[in-house]
Structure 1
Amino acid sequence: MVRVIEDMFGIAVNPMSQKTDRVRRFTLSTERGMSVSINTLGATIQSVMVPDFNGKLEDVCLGYDDVAGYYRNQPLYLGATIGRVANRTSGGRFMLCGKEVSVSRNGRDRYHINGGFVGFDSVIWDVVGVHKDGITLQHISPDGHEGYPGELTTNINFSLNDTGCFGMRIEARTKATTAVNISNNSHFNLAGHGAGKEALYQHMLMIKAQKIVDVNQDLLPTGKLMRVRTTPYDFSSLVSLGKRLNQLISCPLSGFDNNFCVDVSPNRVQLVARVVHPCSGRFMEVHTNQPGLHFSTANNFPDEDSDAPANPGKGGAKYVRHGAFCVQTQKYPDAMNHCSFPTVVLNPGQLYDHQVVYRFGACPKRV
């Protein structure tokens, strides 16, 4: 049995209406102790409590204690829903129906990233349904917002069940042909959200992908796909994340920030990734119907070995570089400018249907 409890998380100015509004938080919880909290600011996943093999609960999702924390750290998009189009769009422009569309260039004035200056992460979503196992949030993006054509109505159904499956079903419809590639930017550490770099290096990872999207220094796709076999990007079987991160020390990012081309059949929700933290026994599986999984390792956080202060998170936790991982299900970045990539074009009468399920659990402790 799942309980749904609402409380007030704070107040904020909704950039769409310029009016002060309540930010509501909904906590979904099971009898086994697992719970997930979602805020209406940015349709943000704020907390995910998961027991280990001894039943000890830890919050494994990075986030902040109040609205001010999310505003201060908006460029990190922690836990937020991002859109209309997640990831990067080269030059902030693309062709659509034979015409060039220009969207805001909020990435170093060179590219568009994660929906623009006021993306889905920045608005207060409407609550349109409270169900026995979750909630449904809605946002209506006006025609022309951030340069995107067509009024777009997006509904997200968040749900939880007693088997540890936390699901998101993102559906969208448009009134004019547009581009849509919505994702969620939650960051996790299965040892606990503040466990840091050392604990992240203990994780094991599997991603069902034979290729990644090749990118340039701005992380913009070149249009090519790169095979991962015999490279540090090969997670086709469960391997040490720490070992793979050590192999990237000499690379510019010194971490992962890559779109993996996962092996999924069209319109089927399938297992694409598995993450395990052996010390606690906690594991997380990612099931989706999307062709891409963007995997990253908190490369934009302060380095704990530098003089820069750590990012202050929930409960006084300190978030550091390589202290968490992110597994964003989506279509490929900059797909509008690469005809060989899975399309992100949505026409009137079509339904954008993005499904993802995170299954959490704990393996028995090995003797």
Structure 2
Amino acid sequence: MVRVIEDVFGIAVNPLTQKTEHVRRFTLSTEKDMSVAILTLGAIIQSVKVPDFNGKLADVCLGYDDVAGYYRNQQSYFGATLGRVANRVAHGHFKLCGKDVSITRNLKDRHHLHGGYVGFDSVIWDVVGIHKDGITLQHVSPDGHEGYPGEVTVNINFSLNEAGCFGMRIEARAKATTCINISNHVYFNLAGHDTGRETLFQHMAMIKANTIVDTDQEQLPTGKLMPVRNTPYDFSTLTNLGKRLNQVYRCPICGFDNNYCVNVDPNQVKLVARAVHPCTGRFMEVHTNQPGLQFYTANSLPDEERGDIPNIGKDGAHYVKHGAFSMQTQKYPDSMNNASFPTVIINPGQLYDHQVVFRFGACPKRI
């Protein structure tokens, strides 16, 4: 039986209302000791605790112990829900229904990233449902916010079950034609959130994709898809992540930050990726109905070996470059400026339906 426990995580100013509100935390836990904690601030996934093959529990999700930690490190988007449109929008501009739309340029004053200056990660979400296996959070994004047309109402149902499946169902409706591409930027290290680069290099990863979105030096899509076969980007079979990271270390982004085209049926939730930490036996599967998966290896976190200022997380942990990974289900980046990509346009009366399930478990050391 899943338990849902609520406590107060802290207080914060809601940027939309300018009112001080409590940030509530909801912890979902199973009889097998797995638990997931979600905050109303940014609909953030604050912790994910999973036992290894010996039953030893570890928090495998990067995050902070207080609200101040999330504000100090907002640019890292740890565990945060991203929207209205996750990822990059080139030059903060696109055409919609034949009209030019300009949205905020919060990335180097040139491009739009993860919803803008006050995206879904920054607001305090309303609790509209507490269920036997989880909660539902809601946010109403005003017409014109960050430049996006149309009021949008978003509901996220977070759930957990005894089989180790942590699910998110993201639904949204708009009052006017607009663009929606919501994701979540949860960072994982299956050895434990505090174990760093060495253990990340031990991970094995698999992504069921034959192509990635090709990007330029600014990580903006060129409109082309790049085959991954016989390249370091090929994770079509379970592959050592450390080996692959060493192969791409000298590329411009010094790691992976790529949208994999998993091409699933939007009406079905299918397995698209898997990660395994052989030393603990912990594994994670990603099941979704979305056509893209952004695979990111924490390239922008501090490199302490080069003297960068540490990013201090939960329990004083040092979060470092290549110390975690993220598998963000989504549609392709900058889709509104690339007609061949899956559309992110939503019309009034149309339902945006994004489903993702992270299934956790543990198996013997030998994979």
Deviation at 1:263, TM superposition (A): 3.4
**Amino acid across the alignment from 1:53:** F
> Pairwise mapping of residues 93-242 of structure 1 onto structure 2 (< 5 A)?
93-242=93-242
Deviation at 1:324, TM superposition (A): 0.1
The answer to whether the Cα contact below 8 Å between 2:278 and 2:366 also exists between their aligned partners in 1 is: no
Residues 240-269 of structure 1, C-alpha deviation per residue, up to 9 Å, x if partnerless? 000000001221211000000013123110
**Amino acid across the alignment from 1:201:** F
> Pairwise mapping of residues 4-43 of structure 1 onto structure 2 (< 5 A)?
4-43=4-43
Deviation at 1:364, TM superposition (A): 2.1
* Matched length: 367
CA distance in 1, matches of 2:53, 2:310: 30
Deviation at 1:195, TM superposition (A): 0.5
> Pairwise mapping of residues 280-359 of structure 1 onto structure 2 (< 5 A)?
280-359=280-359
Unaligned runs of at least 5 residues, structure 2:
none
Deviation at 1:217, TM superposition (A): 1.0
CA distance in 1, matches of 2:3, 2:354: 25
**Amino acid across the alignment from 2:159:** S
CA distance in 1, matches of 2:307, 2:143: 45
Unaligned runs of at least 5 residues, structure 1:
none
Residues 38-71 of structure 1, C-alpha deviation per residue, up to 9 Å, x if partnerless? 0000000000000000000000000000000000
Residues 248-306 of structure 1, C-alpha deviation per residue, up to 9 Å, x if partnerless? 12212110000000131231100000000000000000000000000000001011311
Partner residue, 2:255: 255
SS of 1:191's equivalent?
A: coil
Residues 94-149 of structure 1, C-alpha deviation per residue, up to 9 Å, x if partnerless? 00001011000001111000000000000000000000000000000000000000
The answer to whether the Cα contact below 8 Å between 2:46 and 2:79 also exists between their aligned partners in 1 is: yes
CA distance in 2, matches of 1:101, 1:263: 28
CA distance in 2, matches of 1:266, 1:210: 18
CA distance in 2, matches of 1:149, 1:324: 35
CA distance in 2, matches of 1:310, 1:196: 12
Residues 63-99 of structure 1, C-alpha deviation per residue, up to 9 Å, x if partnerless? 0000000000001100000000000000101000010
**TM-score if structure 1 supplies the norm length?**
0.99
**Amino acid across the alignment from 1:63:** G
CA distance in 2, matches of 1:129, 1:252: 44
**Amino acid across the alignment from 1:357:** V
The Cα RMSD (Å) is: 0.8
SS of 1:78's equivalent?
A: coil
CA distance in 2, matches of 1:180, 1:249: 33
**Amino acid across the alignment from 1:139:** H
SS of 1:341's equivalent?
A: coil
The answer to whether the Cα contact below 8 Å between 2:92 and 2:102 also exists between their aligned partners in 1 is: yes
SS of 1:199's equivalent?
A: helix
CA distance in 2, matches of 1:366, 1:91: 48
Identity of aligned residues (%): 74
CA distance in 1, matches of 2:135, 2:308: 39
Deviation at 1:213, TM superposition (A): 0.3
Deviation at 1:202, TM superposition (A): 0.1
**Amino acid across the alignment from 1:251:** C
CA distance in 2, matches of 1:365, 1:194: 20
CA distance in 2, matches of 1:80, 1:185: 5
CA distance in 1, matches of 2:249, 2:299: 12
